[in-house]
C-alpha cells in the first residue's frame, strides 16, 4: 500500500474497514428528532461494499433505508421519545478497485465540454441529463464572477478540460492553507476565497463553484481517505475525519474525480460514500431536533486497511 | 349634472376599458356610465370615503397590521369596479383554464419522467437552475394526482384589446382573498347596479377549492379530513388575506410550529393533543416548507413534512416545488409544449419573451435590449427587474455584459402595454393603467376560473407598472353574466343538527398560549396605568399630602414600575414611554400588541378595533413626548380602551379553551398585582394614612363602591375588607382567588392532570383573617404593626404562588411550543 499521489498500477484493489461514530450529548433533552444519514457507501464500478452495519442508540421509532434522488443510500431516522444523547455508529467493509488510468491531455477542450451541455433544442441522452443536474447553483455553491476570475489562468482557450481541471485542483492545493479553525459548515465560499483557508469541504465547494461558474458539470463527493504516513513522507490531510472531493463530467470520459485538498486524482485510497450537488445533499448526518440546547457532536472516523487490521 | 367624462384624460395609444377609440362609452359600460352621470362628484367622493372606512374597519392591510415597525399599509380599493362583458370573459376563462392544465401537466413531468427535458422541449437550465426545483420531491406522486391546485395568471391588455399573459403564478398565488373582500365592499357600494348588471358571483370558486382539497386529502377509514391553511406568519405581506381566507374557507390558520410530523403523518398541536392534518393549503414558499430536507435555515416550515407527503399521508397544495414554473424564461417554451402534449394552440398568448440561454436568442435580445425589460430567470438571483430604456449608455453596456456572462440566468421581455381604466380620485374621474390577475382552481372536471379576479391599478397617472409592492391600488372586477348563469352568491353550505360543534377542536396550542399572554399583558397594562396615574395625578396637582405620594412612588419602585434614581418627572417619563426601560408602559403595550397580532384571527372586529386604537395612541405618544398633562390625558384614554378590551373579553368572545386561558391570564396577572400592591402598601409608611388609603382604592378601582357604601373618607378596615375579602368585588384578592379556582378546576376536569391546590390553601388563610384584630386597642401600635406585617406577608405569598402557577400552566399546556433547531455533523 502506498500513500503517494501517484496512481499505483501494481495494486488492483484495496480493502478497508471504516468506523464512523457520531455522538451527540445534548444540553437539554430532545423530545423529537429526525435525522437523515448518508453513511452507507454507494456501489459503483470501482467500489463494492462487502458488509455494513449501523448501530443506533436510542432505538429509533422509525427507520427507513432507501435511495435518495441522486442514487445514494439514505437512512431516515425518527426519534419520537425524549432522549439526552444520540449515538450513530457505522461499520463498513469496502473493496475499492483501481480505476483505469486516463490521459488528461486527450480530453475535449473545456469550451466544447461546456457547450455540449447547453440547451440546443435537441434531445438529451440520460448521461447528459444526469450531468445537467450538477451545472448550477446549489445551497452551498453560488455562481459568481469571482470564481471565474480565480480559475482564469487554468482555463486557457482550447485547453483540454481534464488538464484545466487538474490545474485548478493544483492551484487550490497550492494557494490555500488547510486550517480547520478558519471555517465552519456555513462559511460562505467568497469568504473562503478571500481568506485562502479552509478544510476539504470548503476546497471541494470552491472548486465546484469555479467549474459551475464556467457552465461545467461538477458534483460533490463525500467519503473517506486512507491516511498512513510512511516514514519520511508527509501525512495526508483529512485523516480520521470524513473527506470530500469533486467529480467532473467530461464528454467521452464520463465522471473523473479530483481531490483539491491533496492534489490527487482519487483512486485506491478514496472511499466514496455519496455524491450530490454539494455538502447539503449528502451530509453524513443531518437532522432537526426539538429542544436539545447546545449540541456539538463528537465525531470519530477510522479507516483501516483490512490486511493490517485482521491478517 | 357636469359631464364627468369631459375631463377624463384619454390616451389613445392605450386601450381604454371605458371608452372606445372614438371616445364613446363601450356598450357594456353604458349602464354604469349612466349611473355616474346621475351622480355628482360630492356623492362619489363620499362613497369612496365609505369604501376607505370599511377597509379600515375591516382591518384590511397589505403589509402587516400590528407590526412593531408600523409599516402596515391599508389596502387601496378604488370606488369603481372594472367591467368585463360576458363573451370576452369566456375567452379569458377558457384560456386561463387551458394554461392551468398545461402547467399542471408540465409539473407532473418535471417531478416524474422528465420527458420534456429529454426531448429538448424545455432547457435543463431553467429547471435545474431554479432554486424552487426541489430535488427531494422528484418522484413524489401527490394524492389525487394534482400538482397545481390553485393557479393565477397576470394579464395585461394591449392597445388592440387582446389580453396577454405576462407571468404565471404557480407557487402560492395570492390575491383571491383580496378580490373577495373587494367584492363584498364594492357590491354594497353600488347595490342596484350590481343586481341590474347581473354580475357573476365569486362564491363557487372558493367552494370548489374547499371541495378539491377535502376530496383529494388522503384519509384513513372513518376520518373526516382536516384541512389547514399554513401561513408564514403575521410579518408576511399578505397576512390579512391568510386570515380572511382561513375564516372564509373554514380552515384553521396555522404556522409551521403549530404542526408536527410523527411517523410520517402530519399533526396539529392542540390543547387536547395532536390531531391529524390531511391537507395543507400553503402560503409558505416551496423551499421553506421543510427544514429537514429543504432549506435548512428555515424556521417557518415543518420538519418531516416532505416525508409525510412522500408517503402519501398528506396533501400539500400546491405541490411542493411548483414554484419552478414561475420563471419568466419558460413563457417562450409553452406554445410548443402545448402543441406537443395536447396538439392545440395556447388560447391566451404570452408576452414576447427572450430566454437568453440560447446563443442566437441572446443575440436577438441584445440587439433590441434598449426596448426590453430584463428579468432574473430565478428568484435566488440578486438582480431586480430593469427597464433597459431607463439606462444610459454605460448602464446598457453593463447590463449586456451581465447577460453575456451568464446568459441562462436572464430573460428579456417586451415591455407590456397596459390598458387604462377610470378611477375616482381627488374628486374627479381619472385614468390609470391596470393589470388583472385571474385565478383558476382544480376541480374534479378540470380547472374552474374565478369570474372576477383582482384588478390592480398603477399608483400614478403616468405609471405603467402595476404591482402591490410598488404602491398602487386595486379594483373589484365585475364580470357581467349576459345570458349566462350568475353562479351562486356567497352562501354557506347549509348546516344541520349533525354539524353542530360546541367547541373548536382545532385550536392550536400556540394560539392559546398567546391568548394567555394577551390576557396577562392587557391586565398588566391596566395595572401599570392605574398605578402611574395615581402618582401622576398627585404629582401634577402638587398635593399637600406628600406622604401619600411618596408611598405610591415607593410602591411603584418596589414593583419595578418606576426606574430607580433621579428627578421624579424624569422617572415618570421613563416609566411611561421610556424606550430603554424594559418595564415601561410602552414596552408592555408593545408586548400586548405583539401577542394580539398572533391571535388576531380569534378576536372580533370590534375587539381588534379597540386594539388598533390603543396602538394608534401609543404611536402618537412615542412621536411627540408632550408634557405631563398630556400624559395624564393619555392614561385616562388608555384605561378606557383597556376596559373596553376587558369588556370584549367578557361579552364578545366564545367561552372556548382559548378564552379560558385568556381569562386565567388576566386573573393571574391581577391577583399578582393586587396582592403585591396591597402588601407593599401595608408594609409601607402610609398604611394608616387616609390619603394613602384613597389611592389604594383608586388602584383597586373601588373608589365608587367604597363611597356609595360608607359615604365617608376611607378607613383601614373597610378598605381592606373591600379589596381583600369582598367576594362581590372583582378587584378583591379573594374574588380573583375564587374565580381562578373555578377555572383551574375546569381545566383539570377537561384535560386531566393534578388539581392546583396551592392557591386554595392561601385563599383559606386569607379568608380566615379577622380584620377585627385591627380594631382592638388592646394590642396597641406595635400589635397593629404586627397584624399588618402578617397580612402583608400572606399577600406576598399569594403573589408568589400566582407567579408559580403561571409557570406550571406554561409547562403543562404549552411546553411543546418549543423551538426546533438544525443539526449537522461531518
- Cβ-defined contact of B292 to A288 (cutoff 8 Å): yes
Task: Name the segment(s) of chain A with CATH classification 3.10.620.30.
Answer: 104-282
Picking from A209, A186, A212, A213, the residue whose alpha carbon sits closest to that of residue A198 is A186
C-alpha cell at B636: 385616562
- Cβ-defined contact of A284 to B826 (cutoff 8 Å): yes
Q: Which CATH architecture has domain A104-282?
A: Roll (3.10)
Question: What pLDDT, on a 0 to 100 scale, did the predictor assign at position B216?
Answer: 96
The CA dihedral of B776, B779, B784, B790, to the nearest 10 degrees, is -110
- Cβ-defined contact of A286 to B303 (cutoff 8 Å): no
User: Quick count: other Cβ atoms within 10 Å of Cβ B768?
Assistant: 8
**Residues B661, B643 within the same domain:** no
Q: Which of B123, B138, B823 has the CB atom closest to A69's CB atom?
A: B138
- ω into B318 cis (within 30 of 0): yes
Residue B60 resides in a domain: no
Task: Nearest chain A residue to B307 by CA: give it.
Answer: A76
User: Quick count: other Cβ atoms within 10 Å of Cβ B700?
Assistant: 25
- Cβ-defined contact of B824 to A287 (cutoff 8 Å): yes
**pLDDT tens, residue by residue, B196-236:** 999 999 999 999 999 999 999 999 988 899 999 999 987 78
Provide the shortest C-alpha distance from residue B233 to chain A (in Å).
Answer: 20
**Residues B548, B495 within the same domain:** no
pLDDT-derived band of residue B492, with 50, 70 and 90 as boundaries?
A: low
Give Cα separations from B481 to B36, B198, B349 (angstroms).
21, 5, 24
**Residues B626, B765 within the same domain:** no
Could you give the number of structural domains in chain B? 4
- Among 2.60.40.2250, 3.90.230.10, 1.10.150.120, 3.40.50.920, what is the CATH number of A13-97+284-309? 2.60.40.2250
Q: Which of A76, A121, A137 has the CB atom closest to B120's CB atom?
A: A121
Lowest-pLDDT choice from A253-267, B255-269, B572-586: B572-586
- Cβ-defined contact of B405 to A280 (cutoff 8 Å): no
Task: Nearest chain B residue to A145 by CA: give it.
Answer: B405
Beta-bridge mates of residue B61: B74
Question: What pLDDT, on a 0 to 100 scale, did the predictor assign at position B491?
Answer: 59
pLDDT at A237 exceeding the cut of 50: no
Question: What pLDDT, on a 0 to 100 scale, did the predictor assign at position A221?
Answer: 98
- Cβ-defined contact of B135 to A277 (cutoff 8 Å): yes
Provide the shortest C-alpha distance from residue A9 to chain B (in Å).
Answer: 32
Question: What pLDDT, on a 0 to 100 scale, did the predictor assign at position A129?
Answer: 96
**Residues B277, B365 within the same domain:** no
- Cβ-defined contact of B821 to A241 (cutoff 8 Å): no
pLDDT at B424 exceeding the cut of 50: yes
- Residue B330 with chain A: CB contacts under 8 Å: none
User: Quick count: other Cβ atoms within 10 Å of Cβ A125?
Assistant: 9
3-state secondary structure of A107: coil
Task: Nearest chain A residue to B401 by CA: give it.
Answer: A145
Question: What pLDDT, on a 0 to 100 scale, did the predictor assign at position B239?
Answer: 84
* Residues A215, B209: Cα–Cα separation, whole Å: 42
Cβ-in-10-Å burial (0-12, 13-18, 19+) of A15 comes to middle
Q: Which of A35, A124, A289 has the CB atom closest to B820's CB atom?
A: A289
Which residue, chain included where needed, has cell 367547541? B503
Which residue, chain included where needed, has cell 446549489? A138
- Cβ-defined contact of B128 to A135 (cutoff 8 Å): yes
pLDDT-derived band of residue B487, with 50, 70 and 90 as boundaries?
A: confident
Write down the mean pLDDT value for chain A: 90
pLDDT at A308 exceeding the cut of 80: no
Please, which residues have CB within 8 angstroms of residue B778's CB and are 6 or more apart in sequence? Answer: none
pTM of the predicted model as reported, rounded to 2 decimal places: 0.84
Provide the shortest C-alpha distance from residue A289 to chain B (in Å).
Answer: 5
- Cβ-defined contact of B821 to A124 (cutoff 8 Å): no
pLDDT at B366 exceeding the cut of 80: yes
Write down the mean pLDDT value for chain B: 88
Picking from A3, A18, A10, the residue whose alpha carbon sits closest to that of residue A272 is A18
State the complex-level ipTM.
0.93
Say if CB B515 and CB B653 are below 8 A apart. Answer: no
| Highest mean pLDDT of the ranges A21-30, A211-220, B256-265, B678-687 | A211-220
**Residues B627, B767 within the same domain:** no
Residue B120 resides in a domain: yes
Task: Nearest chain B residue to A222 by CA: give it.
Answer: B826
Above pLDDT 70, what percent of chain B? 92
C-alpha cell at B382: 440578486
- Residue A70 with chain B: CB contacts under 8 Å: 135
Beta-bridge mates of residue A275: A221
- Residue A22 with chain B: CB contacts under 8 Å: 825
* Residues B495, B504: Cα–Cα separation, whole Å: 16
| Highest mean pLDDT of the ranges A145-159, B508-522, B759-773 | A145-159
Provide the shortest C-alpha distance from residue B327 to chain A (in Å).
Answer: 15
3-state secondary structure of A32: strand
Q: Which of B136, B307, B358 has the CB atom closest to A69's CB atom?
A: B136
Beta-bridge mates of residue A270: A225
- Cβ-defined contact of B823 to A22 (cutoff 8 Å): no
Provide the shortest C-alpha distance from residue B166 to chain A (in Å).
Answer: 23
Say if CB B233 and CB B712 are below 8 A apart. Answer: no
DSSP B722: I
pLDDT at A4 exceeding the cut of 50: no
C-alpha cell at B109: 413531468
Provide the shortest C-alpha distance from residue B520 to chain A (in Å).
Answer: 26
- ω into B717 cis (within 30 of 0): no
**Residues B185, B239 within the same domain:** yes
Task: Nearest chain B residue to A36 by CA: give it.
Answer: B292
- Cβ-defined contact of B117 to A136 (cutoff 8 Å): no
- Cβ-defined contact of B263 to A61 (cutoff 8 Å): yes
Domain end among B442, B476, B499: B499
- Cβ-defined contact of B823 to A288 (cutoff 8 Å): yes
Question: What pLDDT, on a 0 to 100 scale, did the predictor assign at position B469?
Answer: 56
- Cβ-defined contact of A288 to B821 (cutoff 8 Å): yes
Picking from B418, B343, B402, the residue whose alpha carbon sits closest to that of residue B369 is B402
Task: Nearest chain B residue to A88 by CA: give it.
Answer: B825
Say if CB B206 and CB B248 are below 8 A apart. Answer: yes
pLDDT at B523 exceeding the cut of 80: yes
Question: What pLDDT, on a 0 to 100 scale, did the predictor assign at position A227?
Answer: 79
- Cβ-defined contact of B824 to A285 (cutoff 8 Å): yes
Backbone dihedral region of B416: left (phi > 0), alpha (psi from -120 to 50 degrees) or beta? Answer: beta
The CA dihedral of B249, B237, A143, B287, to the nearest 10 degrees, is -30
**Residues B644, B659 within the same domain:** no
* Residues B145, B216: Cα–Cα separation, whole Å: 8
| Highest mean pLDDT of the ranges A91-95, B545-549, B565-569 | A91-95
- Cβ-defined contact of B292 to A137 (cutoff 8 Å): no
**pLDDT tens, residue by residue, A177-217:** 999 888 887 788 999 999 999 999 999 999 999 999 999 99
Residue B16 resides in a domain: no
**Residues B494, B530 within the same domain:** no
Which residue, chain included where needed, has cell 398541536? B269
**pLDDT tens, residue by residue, B457-485:** 988 877 766 665 556 789 999 999 876 67
Q: What is the DSSP string of B243-275?
A: HHHHHHHTPPEE-GGGEEEETTEEEEEETTEEE
Strands B372-376 and B410-414: antiparallel
Question: What pLDDT, on a 0 to 100 scale, did the predictor assign at position B66?
Answer: 41
Higher pLDDT, B353 or B496: B353
Provide the shortest C-alpha distance from residue A192 to chain B (in Å).
Answer: 18
Domain end among B636, B653, B670: B653
pLDDT at B168 exceeding the cut of 90: yes
Say if CB A205 and CB A141 are below 8 A apart. Answer: yes
- Residue A83 with chain B: CB contacts under 8 Å: none
- Cβ-defined contact of A119 to B125 (cutoff 8 Å): yes
Please report how the helices B509-540 and B585-598 are oriented relative to each other, as an axis angle in degrees rounded to 10. Answer: 160
**Residues B749, B802 within the same domain:** yes
**pLDDT tens, residue by residue, A17-53:** 999 999 999 988 898 999 999 999 999 999 999 999 9
Q: What does R_g of chain A's alpha carbons equal in angstroms?
A: 20
pLDDT-derived band of residue B65, with 50, 70 and 90 as boundaries?
A: very low
Burial state string for B318-355 with b = 16 or more CB within 10 A and e = fewer than 16: bbbbbbbbbbbbbbbbbeebbeebeeeebebbbbebbb
| Highest mean pLDDT of the ranges A35-49, B246-260, B573-587, B640-654 | A35-49
Element (H, E) at B214: helix B203-216
C-alpha cell at B123: 432547457
* Residues A4, A228: Cα–Cα separation, whole Å: 10
Q: In terms of residue numbers, what domain contains B379?
A: 352-414
Question: What pLDDT, on a 0 to 100 scale, did the predictor assign at position B495?
Answer: 63
Domain end among B596, B628, B653: B653
- Residue A24 with chain B: CB contacts under 8 Å: 823, 825
Task: Nearest chain B residue to A128 by CA: give it.
Answer: B118
Cβ-in-10-Å burial (0-12, 13-18, 19+) of B522 comes to buried
- Cβ-defined contact of B304 to A288 (cutoff 8 Å): yes
Segment A72-83 mean pLDDT: 94
- Cβ-defined contact of A69 to B135 (cutoff 8 Å): yes
Sign of the dihedral through C-alpha B194, B197, B198, B200: negative
Q: What is the DSSP string of A57-104?
A: ESPPSEEEEEE-TTS-EEEEEEE-S-EEEEEEEEEEEEEEEPPPP--G
Question: What pLDDT, on a 0 to 100 scale, did the predictor assign at position A10?
Answer: 55
**pLDDT tens, residue by residue, B100-109:** 999 999 999 9
Say if CB B537 and CB B633 are below 8 A apart. Answer: no
Backbone dihedral region of A126: left (phi > 0), alpha (psi from -120 to 50 degrees) or beta? Answer: alpha
pLDDT at A230 exceeding the cut of 70: no
Task: Name the segment(s) of chain A with CATH classification 2.60.40.2250.
Answer: 13-97+284-309
What backbone torsions phi and psi does residue B487 show, to the nearest 5 degrees?
Answer: 80, 175
Provide the shortest C-alpha distance from residue A260 to chain B (in Å).
Answer: 18
pLDDT-derived band of residue B650, with 50, 70 and 90 as boundaries?
A: confident
* Residues B666, B526: Cα–Cα separation, whole Å: 10
Backbone dihedral region of A252: left (phi > 0), alpha (psi from -120 to 50 degrees) or beta? Answer: left
Question: What pLDDT, on a 0 to 100 scale, did the predictor assign at position B483?
Answer: 67
pLDDT at A7 exceeding the cut of 50: no
- Residue A292 with chain B: CB contacts under 8 Å: 821, 823
| CATH number of the domain where residue B373 is located | 3.30.1490.270
**pLDDT tens, residue by residue, B612-644:** 888 877 777 766 666 888 888 889 989 998 988
Beta-bridge mates of residue B25: B19
- Residue B825 with chain A: CB contacts under 8 Å: 22, 24, 283-286, 297, 299
- Residue B296 with chain A: CB contacts under 8 Å: 139, 280, 286, 288
* E runs forming strands in B426-560: 428-443, 446-449, 454-457, 473-475, 477-479
**Residues B778, B661 within the same domain:** yes
Say if CB A169 and CB A232 are below 8 A apart. Answer: no
pLDDT-derived band of residue A235, with 50, 70 and 90 as boundaries?
A: very low
**A·B CB contacts under 8 A:** 134
Segment B414-436 mean pLDDT: 92
Question: What pLDDT, on a 0 to 100 scale, did the predictor assign at position B67?
Answer: 42
Picking from A186, A195, A215, A196, the residue whose alpha carbon sits closest to that of residue A278 is A186
Question: What pLDDT, on a 0 to 100 scale, did the predictor assign at position B624?
Answer: 60
Segment B567-579 mean pLDDT: 86
Residue B72 resides in a domain: no
Task: Nearest chain A residue to B139 by CA: give it.
Answer: A69
* Residues B268, B254: Cα–Cα separation, whole Å: 8
pLDDT at B794 exceeding the cut of 80: yes
Please count the CA atoms within 13 angstroms of the CA of B50 that sit on its side-chain side: 15
C-alpha cell at B633: 390625558
Say if CB B407 and CB B357 are below 8 A apart. Answer: yes
pLDDT-derived band of residue A3, with 50, 70 and 90 as boundaries?
A: very low
Amino acid at each position: 500500500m502506498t500513500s503517494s499521489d501517484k496512481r499505483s498500477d501494481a495494486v488492483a484493489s484495496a480493502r478497508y474497514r471504516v468506523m464512523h461514530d457520531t455522538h451527540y450529548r445534548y444540553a437539554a433533552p430532545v423530545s423529537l428528532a429526525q435525522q437523515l444519514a448518508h453513511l452507507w457507501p454507494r456501489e459503483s464500478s470501482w467500489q463494492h461494499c462487502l458488509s455494513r452495519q449501523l448501530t443506533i442508540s436510542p432505538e429509533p421509532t422509525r427507520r427507513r433505508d432507501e435511495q435518495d434522488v441522486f442514487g445514494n443510500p439514505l437512512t431516515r431516522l425518527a426519534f419520537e421519545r425524549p432522549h439526552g444523547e444520540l449515538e450513530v455508529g457505522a461499520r463498513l467493509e469496502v473493496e475499492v478497485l483501481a480505476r483505469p488510468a486516463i490521459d488528461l491531455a486527450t480530453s475535449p477542450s473545456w469550451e466544447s465540454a461546456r457547450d455540449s451541455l447547453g440547451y440546443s433544442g435537441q434531445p438529451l441522452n440520460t448521461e447528459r441529463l444526469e450531468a445537467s443536474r450538477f451545472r448550477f447553483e446549489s445551497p452551498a455553491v453560488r455562481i459568481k464572477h469571482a470564481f471565474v476570475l480565480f480559475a482564469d489562468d487554468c482555463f486557457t482557450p482550447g485547453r483540454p478540460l481534464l488538464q484545466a481541471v487538474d490545474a485548478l485542483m493544483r492551484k487550490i492545493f497550492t494557494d490555500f492553507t488547510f486550517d480547520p479553525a478558519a471555517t465552519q459548515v456555513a462559511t460562505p465560499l467568497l469568504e473562503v476565497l478571500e481568506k485562502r483557508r479552509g478544510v476539504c469541504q470548503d476546497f471541494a465547494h470552491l472548486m465546484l463553484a469555479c467549474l459551475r461558474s464556467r457552465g461545467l458539470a461538477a458534483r460533490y463527493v463525500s467519503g473517506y481517505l486512507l491516511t498512513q504516513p510512511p516514514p519520511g513522507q508527509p501525512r495526508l490531510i483529512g485523516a480520521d475525519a470524513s473527506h470530500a472531493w469533486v467529480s467532473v463530467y467530461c464528454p467521452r470520459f464520463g465522471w473523473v474525480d479530483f481531490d483539491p485538498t491533496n492534489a490527487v486524482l482519487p483512486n485506491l485510497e478514496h472511499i466514496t460514500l455519496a455524491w450530490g450537488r454539494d455538502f447539503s445533499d449528502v451530509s453524513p448526518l443531518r437532522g432537526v431536533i426539538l429542544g436539545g440546547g447546545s449540541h456539538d457532536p463528537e465525531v470519530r472516523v477510522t479507516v483501516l486497511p483490512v490486511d493490517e487490521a485482521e491478517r | 349634472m357636469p359631464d364627468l367624462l369631459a375631463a377624463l384624460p384619454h390616451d389613445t395609444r392605450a386601450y381604454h376599458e371605458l371608452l372606445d377609440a372614438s371616445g364613446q362609452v363601450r356598450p357594456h359600460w353604458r349602464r354604469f356610465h349612466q349611473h355616474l352621470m346621475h351622480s355628482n362628484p360630492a356623492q362619489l367622493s363620499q362613497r369612496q370615503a365609505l369604501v376607505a372606512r370599511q377597509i379600515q374597519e375591516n382591518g384590511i392591510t397589505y403589509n402587516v397590521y400590528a407590526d412593531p415597525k408600523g409599516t402596515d399599509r391599508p389596502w387601496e380599493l378604488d370606488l369603481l369596479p372594472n367591467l368585463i362583458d360576458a363573451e370576452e370573459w369566456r375567452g379569458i376563462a377558457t384560456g386561463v383554464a387551458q394554461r392551468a392544465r398545461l402547467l399542471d401537466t408540465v409539473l407532473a413531468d418535471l417531478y416524474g419522467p422528465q420527458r420534456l427535458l429529454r426531448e429538448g422541449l424545455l432547457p435543463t437550465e431553467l429547471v435545474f437552475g431554479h432554486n424552487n426545483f426541489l430535488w427531494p420531491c422528484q418522484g413524489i406522486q401527490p394524492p389525487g394526482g394534482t400538482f397545481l391546485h390553485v393557479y393565477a395568471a397576470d394579464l395585461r391588455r394591449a392597445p388592440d384589446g387582446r389580453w396577454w399573459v405576462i407571468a404565471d403564478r404557480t407557487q402560492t398565488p395570492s390575491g383571491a382573498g383580496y378580490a373577495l373582500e373587494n367584492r363584498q365592499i364594492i357590491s354594497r357600494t353600488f347595490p342596484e347596479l350590481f343586481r341590474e348588471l347581473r354580475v357573476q358571483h365569486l362564491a363557487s370558486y372558493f367552494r370548489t377549492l374547499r371541495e378539491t382539497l377535502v376530496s383529494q386529502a388522503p384519509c384513513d377509514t372513518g376520518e373526516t379530513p382536516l384541512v389547514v391553511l399554513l401561513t408564514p406568519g403575521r410579518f408576511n405581506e399578505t397576512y390579512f388575506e391568510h386570515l380572511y381566507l382561513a375564516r372564509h374557507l373554514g380552515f384553521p390558520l396555522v404556522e409551521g410550529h403549530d404542526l408536527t410530523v410523527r411517523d410520517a403523518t402530519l399533526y396539529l398541536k392542540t390543547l387536547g393533543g395532536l390531531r391529524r392534518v390531511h391537507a395543507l393549503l400553503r402560503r409558505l414558499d416551496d423551499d421553506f416548507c421543510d427544514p429537514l430536507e429543504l432549506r435548512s435555515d428555515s424556521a417557518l416550515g415543518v420538519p418531516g413534512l416532505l416525508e409525510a407527503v412522500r408517503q402519501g399521508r398528506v396533501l400539500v397544495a400546491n405541490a411542493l416545488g411548483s414554484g419552478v414554473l414561475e420563471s419568466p424564461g419558460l413563457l417562450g417554451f409553452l406554445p410548443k409544449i402545448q402543441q406537443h402534449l395536447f396538439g392545440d394552440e395556447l388560447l391566451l398568448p404570452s408576452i414576447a419573451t427572450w430566454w437568453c440561454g440560447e446563443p442566437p436568442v441572446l443575440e436577438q435580445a441584445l440587439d433590441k435590449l434598449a426596448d426590453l425589460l430584463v428579468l432574473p430567470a430565478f428568484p435566488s438571483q440578486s438582480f431586480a427587474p430593469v427597464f433597459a430604456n431607463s439606462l444610459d449608455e454605460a448602464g446598457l453596456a453593463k447590463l449586456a455584459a451581465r447577460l453575456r456572462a451568464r446568459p441562462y440566468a436572464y430573460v428579456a421581455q417586451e415591455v407590456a402595454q397596459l390598458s387604462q381604466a377610470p378611477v375616482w380620485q381627488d374628486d374627479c374621474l381619472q385614468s390609470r393603467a391596470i393589470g388583472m390577475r385571474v385565478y383558476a382552481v382544480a376541480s374534479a372536471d378540470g380547472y374552474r376560473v374565478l369570474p372576477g379576479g383582482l384588478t390592480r391599478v398603477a399608483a400614478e397617472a403616468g405609471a405603467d407598472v402595476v404591482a402591490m409592492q410598488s404602491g398602487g391600488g386595486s379594483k373589484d372586477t365585475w364580470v357581467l353574466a349576459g345570458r349566462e348563469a350568475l353562479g351562486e352568491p356567497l352562501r354557506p353550505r347549509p348546516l344541520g343538527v349533525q354539524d353542530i360543534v360546541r367547541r373548536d377542536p382545532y385550536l392550536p396550542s400556540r394560539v392559546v398560549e398567546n391568548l394567555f399572554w394577551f390576557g396577562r399583558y392587557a391586565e398588566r397594562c391596566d395595572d401599570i396605568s392605574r398605578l402611574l396615574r395615581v402618582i401622576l395625578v398627585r404629582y401634577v396637582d402638587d398635593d399637600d399630602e406628600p406622604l401619600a405620594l411618596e408611598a405610591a412612588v415607593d410602591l411603584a419602585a418596589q414593583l419595578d414600575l418606576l426606574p430607580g434614581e433621579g428627578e421624579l418627572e424624569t422617572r415618570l417619563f421613563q416609566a411611561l414611554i421610556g424606550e430603554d426601560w424594559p418595564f415601561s408602559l410602552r414596552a408592555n403595550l408593545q408586548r400586548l400588541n405583539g401577542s394580539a397580532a398572533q391571535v388576531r384571527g380569534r378576536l372580533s372586529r370590534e375587539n381588534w378595533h379597540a386594539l388598533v386604537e390603543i396602538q394608534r395612541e401609543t404611536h402618537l405618544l412615542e412621536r411627540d413626548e408632550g408634557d405631563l398633562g398630556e400624559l395624564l390625558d393619555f392614561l385616562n384614554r388608555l384605561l378606557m380602551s383597556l376596559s373596553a378590551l376587558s369588556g370584549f373579553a367578557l361579552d364578545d368572545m366564545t367561552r372556548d379553551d382559548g378564552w379560558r386561558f385568556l381569562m386565567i391570564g388576566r386573573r393571574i396577572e391581577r391577583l399578582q398585582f393586587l396582592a403585591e400592591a396591597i402588601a407593599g402598601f401595608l408594609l409601607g409608611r402610609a398604611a394608616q394614612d387616609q390619603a394613602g388609603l384613597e389611592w389604594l382604592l383608586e388602584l383597586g378601582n373601588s373608589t365608587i363602591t367604597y363611597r356609595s357604601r360608607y359615604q365617608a373618607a376611607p378607613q383601614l378596615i373597610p378598605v381592606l375588607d373591600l379589596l381583600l375579602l369582598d367576594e362581590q368585588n372583582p378587584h378583591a384578592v379573594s374574588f380573583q382567588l375564587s374565580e381562578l379556582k373555578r377555572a383551574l378546576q375546569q381545566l383539570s376536569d377537561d384535560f386531566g392532570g393534578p388539581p392546583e391546590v396551592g392557591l386554595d390553601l392561601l385563599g383559606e388563610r386569607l379568608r380566615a383573617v379577622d380584620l377585627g384584630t385591627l380594631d382592638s386597642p388592646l394590642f396597641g401600635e406595635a400589635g397593629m404593626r404586627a397584624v399588618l406585617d402578617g397580612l402583608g406577608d400572606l399577600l406576598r405569598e399569594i403573589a408568589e404562588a400566582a407567579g408559580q402557577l403561571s409557570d406550571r400552566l406554561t409547562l403543562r399546556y404549552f411546553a411543546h411550543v418549543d423551538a426546533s433547531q438544525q443539526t449537522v455533523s461531518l
